[in-house]
Amino acid sequence: MKHSRLAAAMSLLAAGAVVLSGCEVPHTSTAYASVVVDCAGKPAISASGSTAQANAMKRFVSAYGKSCPGHTLNYTANGSGAGITDFLAGKSDFAGSDTPLGDDQRDAATKRCGGAPAWNLPVVFGPLAVTYNLPVDFLVLDAQTIAGIFNGSITRWDDPAISALNASMPSEDIHVVYRSDKSGSTANFQAYLAAAAAGTWTQGTGKEFKGGVGTPAKGNDGTSAMVKNTEGAITYNELSFAMDEGLYAAEIKTPASRKSRRPVRIGTDSVGKTIAGAKFVGKGNDLVLDLSSFYNPTNDDVYPIVLATYEIVCSKYPDPAVGAAVKAALQATLGPGQIDLDKHGYIPLPPDLQARVSSAVDAIS
């Protein structure tokens, strides 16, 4: 059946949803999943950045509005690079990014925050699906073939390297679609290729696509729409956008799954096991994660391409009213905002990670 593999992934995600019961606290505080939302501060705040988290952010914004009536958060999904630029320039109150601040941005962030350090706070995980448009509903790829496709060394779907992983492939040209904007999705995708296909992907990493081939499109929404409308196309999307467009999603063969001869599908279990390998490398409440363990899993049922999406905030805001509102918005994000994210192409924070991030959010002033 058309799109059956992606439908299966959607079912796997939905099957893992857990709805936690909560209780209401009188007046302006709401407790949910051990998170209390203290509604205070500026009535309207703004943020911008990651398109990968845009669909999750819709739920976060809704959770904030319901927890704190009369308070609003406006989020502009303009890409991780643009979001950080806006934040550093003081045009937004926090940034959404699929990569943490770079060392070269730390001084600018401290200046923007009135002398206080900025913190990177992970709020949700998103699997990156390798999506395609072909007259087949089953495609297996590994890191080497993905790298070859995106650096232009593999140009046809019936290339022997792809055919070796699949029963039959159409005799068609490959049309690569990549992000035109500075993107955390691109940064995570290229980090995966550099780690898992080092001998094939030598183009480098970072937020700008460096494969040197293909057609650009802006945002996860732009790349997913272009693939949907282009026969033979392939790209990388945060899973929720693939779900929105009904795109096919490739199954990934890792070195571990190659031994068992079972490629890995996106699902709550496979991505949940990926997240379990995340390690904190930031100091104190700057909760930067090391995701390097994701890319070459040693277990055969671990999906290897997953990004962590951060909110980049001031630890102390020059305007206390802004700080109080940002704190409340992120409390709502970490509490009711996490409900059913796995039905919408994301993986909510595990309880231990949620508790760690919540502690940092509570320290924002």
pLDDT tens digits for range 66-102: 999 999 999 999 999 999 999 999 999 999 999 999 9
The answer as to whether 296 is a domain residue is no
Q: At 261, is the pLDDT very low, low, confident or very high (cuts 50, 70, 90)?
A: confident
The answer as to whether 161 is a domain residue is yes
The enclosing domain of 266 has a CATH number of 3.40.190.10
Q: At 8, is the pLDDT very low, low, confident or very high (cuts 50, 70, 90)?
A: very low
- Model's pTM, two decimal places? 0.86
pLDDT computed for residue 27 by the predictor: 30
Range ranked top by mean pLDDT from 90-94, 241-245, 265-269, 350-354: 90-94
Do 133 and 144 reside in the same domain of the chain?
yes
Do 75 and 164 reside in the same domain of the chain?
no
The answer as to whether 51 is a domain residue is yes
Do 53 and 154 reside in the same domain of the chain?
no
Do 24 and 114 reside in the same domain of the chain?
yes
User: Distance (Å, rounded) from C-alpha 1 to C-alpha 7?
Assistant: 10
pLDDT computed for residue 258 by the predictor: 66
Largest CA distance in the chain: 65
User: Distance (Å, rounded) from C-alpha 291 to C-alpha 126?
Assistant: 13
pLDDT computed for residue 31 by the predictor: 47
Q: How many domains does the chain have?
A: 2
**Which residue segment(s) compose the domain that 173 sits in?**
127-272
Do 162 and 114 reside in the same domain of the chain?
no
DSSP state of 173: B
State yes or no: pLDDT of 12 exceeds 60.
no
Do 133 and 155 reside in the same domain of the chain?
yes
Q: At 169, is the pLDDT very low, low, confident or very high (cuts 50, 70, 90)?
A: very high
pLDDT computed for residue 300 by the predictor: 87
Of 275, 270, 277, the residue nearest 293 (C-alpha): 277
User: Distance (Å, rounded) from C-alpha 115 to C-alpha 187?
Assistant: 29
> What is the amino acid identity at position 62?
S
pLDDT computed for residue 6 by the predictor: 53
State yes or no: pLDDT of 17 exceeds 80.
no
